[in-house]
Amino acid sequence: MRFFIMYNLINPTKSLSVIFSIISILWFLLLTLVTSFFGVSLSLYSLGLWELFFLMFPFVLAASFFIWTFFLTLLEVIYRVANDKVVNLIDSNRQSQYFRKFLQSDESQTEEVNIGSIKRFNFYISFLTINVTEDQVEILLPLPPRIESYNILKSSLPDIREVASIRMPSYTFQPAERGSFYFKITGRKN
């Protein structure tokens, strides 16, 4: 289960929530500074309940995203310090980003495959997760629900295994195992 907590840290859409939370906090601070600078009264007694709700909602949402992301990151770092190395967490993030970039398909290059299936394939590849620990590497590839995207992923599995063995030569990678919602490629330390 801890592996799926780590997924939240290295998924690019989750990092957008951190950016959104920072922008929301800055927006709230800017709104507060502008209203106090121009002398607009924001007394809580003069505001109605709905105005107060709409004023505080972005800040509360941003703060909750920021706290949740910080909490998950802290859990992962504590786990890595206790059981593994923090360097492996950084390596997991770096390898995941590299493999996502490597597996992205360009819509203009292929003619025989539907562009929509390539877009769906690229969407599911953005959820690829690599977990590097001291004794093994796990590569999780979520299964796309459409047949065309699934066939693209299945045809690229040998390439993924080959690139993984080139990028991490101290690990021996086994063929991909199919789970219910993902392909899993496991590499063991030599």
56 C-beta neighbours (distance < 10 Å), count: 13
User: Which two structure tokens, joined as six digits, stand for 190?
Assistant: 């030599």
78 and 116 housed in the same domain: no
The residue out of 62, 83, 104 marking a domain boundary is 83
Residue 113 has a pLDDT of 64
Residue 21 has a pLDDT of 67
Residue 3 has a pLDDT of 47
User: Which two structure tokens, joined as six digits, stand for 83?
Assistant: 């059981």
Residue 6 has a pLDDT of 46
Residue 73 has a pLDDT of 85
13 and 55 housed in the same domain: yes
77 and 94 housed in the same domain: no
Residue 69 has a pLDDT of 84
User: Which two structure tokens, joined as six digits, stand for 162?
Assistant: 């080959």
User: Which two structure tokens, joined as six digits, stand for 8?
Assistant: 């939240």
Enclosing domain of residue 43? 2-83
Residue 187 has a pLDDT of 95
Distance CA 45, CA 41 (A): 10
Q: 137: domain CATH number?
A: 3.40.1720
User: Which two structure tokens, joined as six digits, stand for 175?
Assistant: 């063929």
Structurally, how many domains does the chain consist of? 2
Task: Single out the residue of 173, 183, 157, 55 nearest to residue 103, CA to CA.
Answer: 157
The residue out of 46, 62, 83 marking a domain boundary is 83
pTM, full prediction: 0.67
In sequence order, the 6+-apart residues with CB closer than 8 A to the CB of 107 are 115, 118, 119
Q: What is the pLDDT along the chain (190 residues), one digit of tens a residue?
A: 454 444 444 454 455 666 666 777 777 777 676 666 655 555 555 556 666 667 777 777 777 888 888 888 888 889 999 999 999 999 999 999 999 999 887 766 656 667 778 888 888 999 999 999 999 999 999 999 888 888 888 999 999 999 999 999 999 999 999 988 999 999 999 8
Distance CA 71, CA 93 (A): 17
Query: Which single residue is written with the structure tokens 């907590």?
Result: 5
Helix axis angle for 2-10 and 86-103, nearest 10°, is: 60
